[in-house]
Amino acid sequence: MKLYYAPGACSLASHITIRELNLEVDIIKVDILKKYKTERGEDYYKINPKGYVPYLTIDPDTSISEGAVILQYLADQKPEGKMSPLEGTPERYKIQEWLTFIATELHHLIDSFFAKYHFTEAGLKFQKAKLHKRLAILETQFTDNDFLMGADYTIADAYAFTVMNWISAFGLDVDISDYKNISAYMNKIQYREAVQTAMKEEGLI
Ligand SMILES: N[C@@H](CCC(=O)N[C@@H](CS)C(=O)NCC(=O)O)C(=O)O
């Protein structure tokens, strides 16, 4: 298998999961900012016509895009690693609820702050208010739960960590200092061995 990634991008969640589960996957860097080439010099659009990361090639005929789906595929390769509830269980729908929340509510909302100069002042205020409402949901979740699925660390946490880490790592204009539970959650995840390994491999730390 091959995972196509860009340093610090949303693909970090898949990279973390690969290291958590000790899966045999080649990790291939892609320039998604300018040239859209892999580190091997290949035209990335020829590999993944969508042009974005993450992208997982399983065999010459099968590839998956969309991070939330790639994460589930990776977790299913080693069910004993318990990075996701099993297919067909009610908990599987619960983790899909969180993965969808992260993908549709958090990921692109936080992403939009990288280009905040596109916003009018009113637009920026609107985006901030919306993001704070979504962060408040997580702050409440972590009042009584260590992780999104309760006591167990899963792929949903790898994904939530990855996108919320952008706020501090890239100095985005969002004040999260009041979210004590989120801050404790982020620290707990950041110092996991697999997270440190993936971040080092991407040159982030
Ligand atoms: N819908 C995709 C979006 C992935 C995405 O936004 N990837 C960003 C990095 S975090 C990217 O590759 N951007 C480059 C581009 O869009 O050209 C997913 O959920 O996996």
Tell if the pTM clears 0.95, that is, is over it.
Answer: yes
Closest approach atom of ligand 1 to CA 52: 12
Which amino acid residue places its CA nearest to atom 11 of ligand 1? Answer: 52
Closest approach atom of ligand 1 to CA 9: 10
Which amino acid residue places its CA nearest to atom 17 of ligand 1? Answer: 52
Average pLDDT of every residue of the chain: 96
Residue 185 Cβ inside 6 Å of ligand 1? The answer reads no
Q: What spacing in Å lies between the alpha carbon of 10 and ligand 1's midpoint?
A: 7
Output the 3-class SS for the chain. CEEEECCCCCCHHHHHHHHHCCCCCEEEEECCCCCCEECCCCEHHHHCCCCCCCEEEEECCEEEECHHHHHHHHHHHCHHHCCCCCCCCHHHHHHHHHHHHHHHHHHHHHHHHHHHHHCCHHHHHHHHHHHHHHHHHHHHHHHHCCECCECCCCHHHHHHHHHHHHHHHCCCCCCCCCCHHHHHHHHHHHCCHHHHHHHHHCCCC
Give 118's pLDDT tier (boundaries 50, 70, 90). Answer: confident
Tell the CATH topology of 2-81+195-201.
Glutaredoxin (3.40.30)
Residue 103 Cβ inside 6 Å of ligand 1? The answer reads yes
Write the pLDDT tens digit of every residue in 155-199: 999 999 999 999 999 999 999 999 999 999 999 999 999 999 999
Closest approach atom of ligand 1 to CA 70: 20
Write the pLDDT tens digit of every residue in 134-159: 999 999 999 999 999 999 999 999 99
% of the chain residues with pLDDT over 70: 100
- Domain map of the chain by residue range? 2-81+195-201, 90-192
Class of domain 90-192: mainly alpha
Q: What spacing in Å lies between the alpha carbon of 182 and ligand 1's midpoint?
A: 24
